[in-house]
């Protein structure tokens, strides 16, 4: 029994390194999407102290809008542009109708407001686009199908072209976001607001502008993850679950850390796959991916309450 | 003195007309009257000090000028017109920069990035051109960088440009905060106890910087300070507050010889 836990899995990994690579690759594909979603959470949390419960439904809503517009005969790429427009209007509306009137309320009220946004988007999405499952317009968007087979260590490694595309696009988006945050004035304003509200106001940062901006960024992230996940699993309200995968990432990475979101996302994506294949399936009958990340995060929190990368808690005046 | 007339200081500097004027300001927090019917003005190019014992209402006054607090009664006049109620960020965009009594910096960001945020009041390029690093945004970024580097040189903090602010000692943080405010090229600079908690040498440096800023850029400065020696050396005119009231207003010499002020500072019971 102890050998099954502490020895055999590693023996298996060394015996078939090609398979290990396959497992890690698949973990990476999910991981980068978790990282993206977590980044959306972190940006909103840092600039408004709001834990955005609606992030998951925004993924569904973006994917539904995209597929729905296309179903009305709008060309694929124009649908993408229009969906971005819709996400922007959504960000504007949320700021104006929900956030602005609630400014200064306790955090829990704002959290509840995002539950309200979630319920609204579920109802609104169903009314306009219908609740039944849809197919992502992958080929219309030029997302390649098929796969590339490689033979590392004389073994076999299969890379789905869809997965390769997802990893490339998501990586580019993460890098673009980092560049935006670090090298533009608006990006500095977003980070500044996360560090100190008073100081941010004193240098002329408008809360409202930043809020619209971070919610729009969350909307862009929602669309990209919606396309990526939708292309694998279809477009339905079940897509929401990908956002719940961001929760353990946030517990691990810290709610305020941009680095934490990215590293945490990749770590969880890969570790949960590794655990499932080498421990979960042989020992626990599989299906560990639904809970593994949470348990891992809880264990980490026992030792580091601020998360792995949690930034120092800054007192607010 | 008329509003538009200036005066010449003891050290021969020409001071201009009224830049900022507080008229009959009262500020209440529930039952506490933090500021009780105070009026005074700040003139173009001058260094104006606000002094007074703890809890006198000095910071509250600065918070009103910078838009963080809204007075219960009274008017703020700026550049010749009455200022409507404004949010702090709107006030900042009108050329009012400030530092805080308890240092408010962006601790996770580098010194350079902190000072760069001081340029946000001069941002014209839209979000989208910034996101795409387009023409106008790029030119602006370059221009901002140049100005910021000058401020950094001016305040002699080149060596720590890339250091995250959270790691700096207290005295340097105060200087970075001043740098961020200066980067805005403000019409008026508000400093809330810029020398509090500093040692003698650091105080001397900070005094020199404040004088240099005023001298080189002609920036109008309003500062709160506890150290009487410093105040007397630096400032052209002084407002003295005590328990929310104004008990003195004039040149350092006038204020020093004012009986109410002497009483307040010696702690004569009210
Ligand atoms: N936000 C606030 N809410 C409630 N009361 C406040 C607030 N800000 C200031 N006060 C009160 O107003 C009074 C004046 O405070 P203020 O900070 O302006 O004094 P100060 O002159 O700056 O004192 P110090 O020298 O200690 O900094 C105090 O009684 C303070 O408790
Ligand atoms: Mg004070």
pLDDT tens track for A38-95: 999 999 998 888 999 999 999 999 999 999 999 999 999 999 999 999 999 999 999 9
- Using CA atoms, how far residue A1 sits from A271, A275, A280, in Å, is 21, 16, 14
Render the burial of A288-302: b for 16+ CB within 10 Å, e for the rest.
bbeebbbebbeebbe
**b or e along A193-231 (b: 16 or more beta carbons within 10 Å of the residue's beta carbon)?**
bbbbbebbbbbbbbbbbbbbbbbbbbbbbbbbbbbbbbb
Please tell me the predicted confidence (pLDDT) of residue B17.
Answer: 93
Residues A273/A275/A276/A282 CA torsion (nearest 10 deg): 150
Same-domain check for residues A88 and A145? yes
Residue A238 has pLDDT above 90, yes or no: no
Question: Distance (Å, rounded) from C-alpha A49 to C-alpha A168?
Answer: 31
From A244, A275, A295, give the residue that closes a domain.
A244
How would you write the pLDDT of chain B (270 residues) with one tens digit per residue?
677 788 998 888 899 999 999 999 999 999 999 999 999 999 999 999 999 999 999 999 999 999 999 999 999 999 999 999 999 999 999 999 999 999 999 999 999 999 999 999 998 777 777 777 677 788 888 999 999 999 999 999 999 999 999 999 999 999 999 999 999 999 999 999 999 989 999 999 999 999 999 999 999 999 999 877 888 889 999 999 999 999 999 999 999 888 888 888 766 555
pLDDT of residue B136: 77
- A108/B52 Cα distance (integer angstroms): 40
Q: Are residues A105 and A157 in the same domain?
A: yes
Of B246 and A313, the one with more pLDDT: B246
A111 and A212 share one domain: yes
- Residue with the bigger pLDDT between A305 and B256: it is B256
Structural domains counted in chain A: 2
Provide, as residue numbers in chain B, all residues whose Cβ is less than 8 Å from the Cβ of A185: 116-117, 119-120, 123, 125, 130, 137, 140-141, 144
Inter-chain residue contact B68 with A198, CB threshold 8 Å: yes
Rounded percentage of chain A residues whose pLDDT exceeds 70: 97
Neighbours of B161 (CB within 10 A): 14
What confidence tens digit (pLDDT) does each residue in B152-175 have?
999 999 999 999 999 999 999 999
Assess whether A296 and A149 both reside in one domain. Answer: no
Touching check for B166 and chain A: CB below 8 Å?
yes
Strand partners, B110: B164
In DSSP terms, B21 is beta-bridged to: B41, B77
For residue A306, what pLDDT is reported?
76
Answer whether residue A11 is part of any domain.
Answer: no
State the burial class of residue B31 (Cβ atoms within 10 Å of its Cβ: 0-12, 13-18, 19+). Answer: exposed
What 3-state DSSP class applies to B225?
coil
**C-alpha distance from residue B124 to each of A121, A215, B112, B130 (Å):** 34, 22, 20, 10
**DSSP class per residue in B157-168:** -GGGTTSBGGGS
Q: Which ligand is nearest to the CA of B55?
A: 1
Instruction: Name the minimum distance, in Å, from the CA of A213 to any CA of chain B.
Output: 8
Could you tell me if A203 and A312 lie in one domain? no
Whether A273 is in a domain gets the answer yes
Ranked by mean pLDDT, the top range of A78-82, A242-246, A281-285 is A78-82
Nearest CA to ligand 1 atom 29: B55
Q: Are B175 and B186 in contact (CB under 8 A)?
A: no
Q: In this complex, is the C-beta atom of A205 within 8 Å of any C-beta atom belonging to chain B? A: yes
pLDDT on residue B267: 63
Structure tokens belonging to residue B42: 């700040």
Q: What pLDDT is stored for residue A212 in this prediction?
A: 95
Give A57 Cα–ligand 2 centroid separation in angstroms.
Answer: 46
| Whether residues A200 and A287 fall in one domain | no
Mutate to test the pocket of ligand 1, among B26, B49, B55, B56 (most ligand atoms within 8 A of CB): B55
Pairing state between β B18-29 and A147-150 = unpaired
What's the gap between Cα B60 and its chain centre?
Answer: 13
What's the pTM?
Answer: 0.90
What is d(CA A207, CA B141) in angstroms, rounded to the nearest whole number? 22
Check if the beta carbon of residue A313 is closer than 8 Å to that of residue A254.
no
- Supply B70's token pair: 């809204």
Question: C-alpha dihedral over B245, B248, B249, B250, to 10 degrees?
Answer: -170
Contacts of B100 in chain A (CB under 8 A): 198-199, 202
Cβ-count burial A175-185 (b if 16+ within 10 Å, e if not): eebeebbeebb
Domains of chain B (ranges; CATH) run: 1-95+186-270 (3.40.50.300), 108-183 (no CATH)
Which has the higher per-residue pLDDT, B19 or A3? B19
User: Tell me, what's the pLDDT at B1?
Assistant: 67
Structure tokens at B118: 């001081």
Helix, strand or coil, per DSSP, at residue A134: strand
What is the per-residue pLDDT for B6?
Answer: 86
- Same structural domain, A211 and A139: yes
Query: DSSP H helical segments within B184-227, as ranges?
Result: 200-217
The stretches of A49-106 forming alpha helices (DSSP H) are: 55-71, 76-93, 100-102
In the numeric block, the tokens 């602005």 are attached to A100
Structural domain harbouring A285: 254-317
Residue B56 Cβ < 6 Å to ligand 1: yes
Are B131 and A180 within 8 A, CB to CB? yes
Residue B32 parent element (H or E): strand B32-43
Q: What is the pLDDT of residue B160?
A: 97
- In this structure, is residue A14 part of a structural domain? no
Last residue of a domain, one of A226, A244, A262: A244
Q: Is the CB of B114 under 6 A from ligand 1?
A: no
d(CA A278, CA B160): 48
Do A204 and A258 reside in the same domain of the chain? no
Token code pair at residue B257: 């010889």
For residues A103 and A216, state if they share a domain.
yes
Please report which ligand is nearest the Cα atom of B54: 1
Asked if A274 and A169 sit in the same domain, the reply is no
Residue A159 has pLDDT above 80, yes or no: yes
Residues A99 and A153 in one domain: yes
Containing H/E element for A155?
none
Question: What is the predicted pLDDT for the residue at A69?
Answer: 95
**Residue A160 main-chain phi, psi, to 5 deg:** -65, 135
Of A98 and A311, the structure prediction assigns the larger pLDDT to: A98
| Domain-located, residue A101 | yes
* Distance (Å, whole) CA A202 – CA B97: 7
pLDDT tier for residue A316 given thresholds of 50, 70 and 90: very low
pLDDT at B268: 59
In terms of domains, do A224 and A310 share one?
Answer: no
- Nearest ligand, CA of residue B52? 1
Does A317 contact B at CB distance below 8 Å?
yes
Choosing from A244, A278, A301, the residue where a domain stops is A244
Strand order in the sheet with B18-29: B32-43, B18-29, B73-78, B81-82
CA-closest residue to ligand 1 atom 16? B57
What is the structure's pLDDT at A311?
53
Going by CA atoms, what residue is nearest to atom 23 of ligand 1? B55
pLDDT at A314: 43
Specify if A4 maps to a domain.
Answer: no
Q: Do B130 and A186 touch (CB under 8 A)?
A: yes
A120: closest CA of chain B, how far (Å): 28
Domain assignment present for residue A264? The answer is: yes
């Amino acid at each position: 029994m102890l050998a099954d836990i502490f020895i055999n899995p590693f023996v298996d990994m060394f015996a078939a390194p090609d398979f290990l690579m396959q497992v890690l690759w698949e973990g990476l594909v999910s991981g980068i999407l978790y990282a993206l979603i977590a980044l959306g959470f972190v940006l909103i949390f840092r600039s408004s102290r709001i834990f955005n419960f609606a992030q998951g439904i925004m993924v569904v809503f973006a994917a539904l809008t995209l597929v729905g517009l296309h179903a009305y005969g709008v060309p694929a790429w124009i649908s993408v542009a229009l969906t971005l427009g819709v996400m922007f209007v959504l960000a504007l509306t949320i700021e104006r109708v929900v956030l602005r009137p609630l400014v200064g309320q306790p955090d829990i009220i704002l959290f509840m407001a995002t539950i309200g946004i979630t319920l609204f988007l579920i109802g609104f999405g169903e009314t306009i686009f219908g609740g039944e499952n849809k197919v992502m317009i992958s080929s219309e968007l030029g997302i390649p199908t098929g796969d590339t087979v490689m033979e590392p260590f004389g073994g076999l490694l299969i890379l789905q072209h869809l997965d390769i595309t997802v990893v490339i696009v998501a990586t580019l988006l993460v890098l673009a976001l980092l560049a935006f945050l670090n090298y533009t004035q608006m990006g500095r304003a977003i980070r500044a607001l996360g560090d100190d509200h008073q100081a941010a106001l004193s240098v002329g940062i408008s809360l409202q502008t930043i809020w619209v901006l971070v919610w729009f960024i969350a909307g862009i992230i929602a669309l990209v993850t919606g396309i990526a996940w939708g292309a694998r699993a279809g477009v339905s309200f079940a897509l929401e679950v990908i956002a719940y995968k961001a929760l353990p990432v946030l517990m691990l990475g810290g709610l305020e850390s941009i680095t934490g979101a990215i590293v945490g996302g990749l770590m969880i994506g890969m570790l949960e796959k590794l655990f499932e294949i080498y421990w979960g399936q042989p020992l626990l009958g599989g299906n560990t991916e639904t809970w593994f990340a949470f348990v891992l995060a809880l264990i980490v929190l026992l030792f580091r309450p601020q998360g792995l990368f949690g930034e120092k808690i800054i007192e607010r005046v | 003195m008329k509003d538009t007339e200036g005066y010449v200081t003891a050290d021969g500097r020409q001071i201009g007309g009224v830049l900022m004027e507080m008229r009959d300001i009262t500020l209440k927090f529930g039952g506490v009257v933090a500021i009780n019917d105070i009026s005074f003005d700040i003139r173009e190019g001058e260094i104006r000090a606000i002094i007074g014992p703890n809890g006198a209402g000095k910071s509250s006054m600065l918070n009103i000028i910078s838009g963080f607090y809204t007075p219960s009664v009274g008017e703020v006049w700026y550049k010749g017109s009455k200022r409507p109620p404004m949010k702090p960020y709107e006030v900042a965009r009108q050329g009012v920069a400030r530092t805080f009594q308890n240092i408010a910096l962006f601790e996770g960001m580098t010194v350079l990035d902190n000072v760069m945020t001081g340029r946000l009041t001069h941002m014209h390029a839209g979000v989208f051109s910034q996101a795409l690093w387009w023409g106008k945004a790029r030119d602006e970024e370059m221009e901002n960088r140049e100005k910021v580097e000058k401020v950094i040189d001016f305040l002699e903090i080149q060596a720590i440009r890339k250091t995250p602010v959270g790691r700096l000692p207290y005295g340097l943080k105060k200087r970075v905060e001043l740098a961020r405010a200066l980067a805005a090229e403000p019409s008026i600079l508000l400093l809330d106890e810029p020398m509090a908690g500093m040692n003698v040498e650091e105080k001397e440096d900070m005094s020199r910087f404040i004088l240099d800023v005023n001298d080189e850029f002609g920036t109008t400065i309003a500062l709160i300070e506890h150290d009487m020696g410093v105040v007397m050396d630096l400032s052209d005119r002084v407002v003295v507050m005590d328990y929310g009231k104004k008990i003195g207003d004039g040149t350092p010499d006038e204020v020093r010889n004012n009986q109410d002020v002497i009483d307040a500072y010696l702690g004569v019971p009210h």
